Every structure is written in C-alpha cells, then in structure tokens.
Amino acid sequence: MHEHVLKRIEEENSEQDVWIVGPATGRMLHWLVRVLAPDVALEIGTSVGYSAVWIASALDKNQRGQLWTIESHEERYGRAQKNIEEAGLTHRIFQLKGHAPEIFTENPALPEQIDFAFFDATKQEHQSYFDAIFPRMKSGGMIVVDNVLSHRFGKMQQFIDAAHANSELKVVEIPVGDGLLIARVV
C-alpha cells in the first residue's frame, strides 16, 4: 500500500525539493529496521514523511514497534501527516510537531528507551540531538545519520569526528545516498 505514496513523493521531489532521503537510503533504512526489529524508533526531521513511511513499513512487516517522528516546520508536518495516512501507517507512527532537542524536555510522553534513531534535520544541530537522545538509547541500539558525505565538511564534520571518537559507539560510514553514518551503541 505504501509504495504508491513513496513513488508520488519521489515525483514531487523531482519537481520541487521536499528534502527526502531518496530511494537508496529509504531501502537501507527499511533493511536496517527489519534486521534490528526495534520496539521504539525515533526520527528527527520528518519533512514530508518519506523516510517515516520507509521506517514504519519495516516496523509493520516486523509486526512490532512504533516510530516517533519529529518535525518543526508547519507545512511539511501537515504534508507528512497526509502521506502517512495515505500509506496506511498511522498505527505505527506518532508524529510530534516541535524542534528537537527541546521537544525531549517538553514532551513527557516520549519513550524513555530508544532502539533505533535516525537524524535528518538541521545538520549543525546533530550534536545536540545526539546529546538529547543518547541517554535514552538501549545498549545494542542504532543511530543512523544522513548526509555525512554531502554535508561532511563544515556543518557536520565536528559531529562526525565526535561520533568516531566516542568509545560507546561502533561507527561505520557507507556511501548510500548522500552518505550514512551508522553507529551501534555498545
């Protein structure tokens, strides 16, 4: 059911950039979630819901888990809501409107334990996202960060270096889409 929604969003993105991860990264996120089978997934940067649909469809195939997805932009939040509904995945996704990381202190309903986190929001804020969620990450959990090749120099370099230096993470970077950093919590 969700494939037509993904295809439509891809077509919309070719006409006007709506900040999606693209099909290769979407498939990788889907695969990682299928393998990890998280109970709680978190996405920072919903945009129009493209990656949320990929992640939630994997949760749905696993027949378990919930995705909490955060978006601060009003119009993109609304578009994501419609796309998620059209994909038939509202039962797997909790949408939150707000700015990360502040939303973690403002929303007591957020889960205390996170198995899988995906960062695809304001690049220079990734360290603050990490600082907010890391205390909630389960041992063996996974943090995936988009755009580590396309935005490496400048906005994300300090965060990438810190992730590699963190002894509590096992980190790999892969050249999928605009580059993914995949960190497993030790």
Q: Give the residue carrying structure tokens 């090749």.
A: 149
Q: Supply the pTM of this predicted model.
A: 0.96
Query: What are the Cα distances from residue 21, in Å, to 32, 121, 131, 165?
Result: 15, 11, 23, 26
The answer to whether the beta carbons of residues 119 and 145 sit under 8 Å apart is yes
The alpha carbon dihedral of 40, 177, 90, 56 has a sign of: negative
Residuewise pLDDT in 10s, the chain (186 residues): 589 999 999 999 888 888 899 999 999 999 999 999 999 999 999 999 999 999 999 999 999 999 999 999 999 999 999 999 999 999 999 999 999 988 888 877 789 999 999 999 999 999 999 999 999 999 999 999 999 999 888 779 999 999 999 999 999 999 999 999 999 999
Distance CA 21, CA 10 (A): 10
DSSP string, 33-95: HHHH--SEEEEE--TTSHHHHHHHHHHHHHT--EEEEEE--HHHHHHHHHHHHHTT-TTTEEE
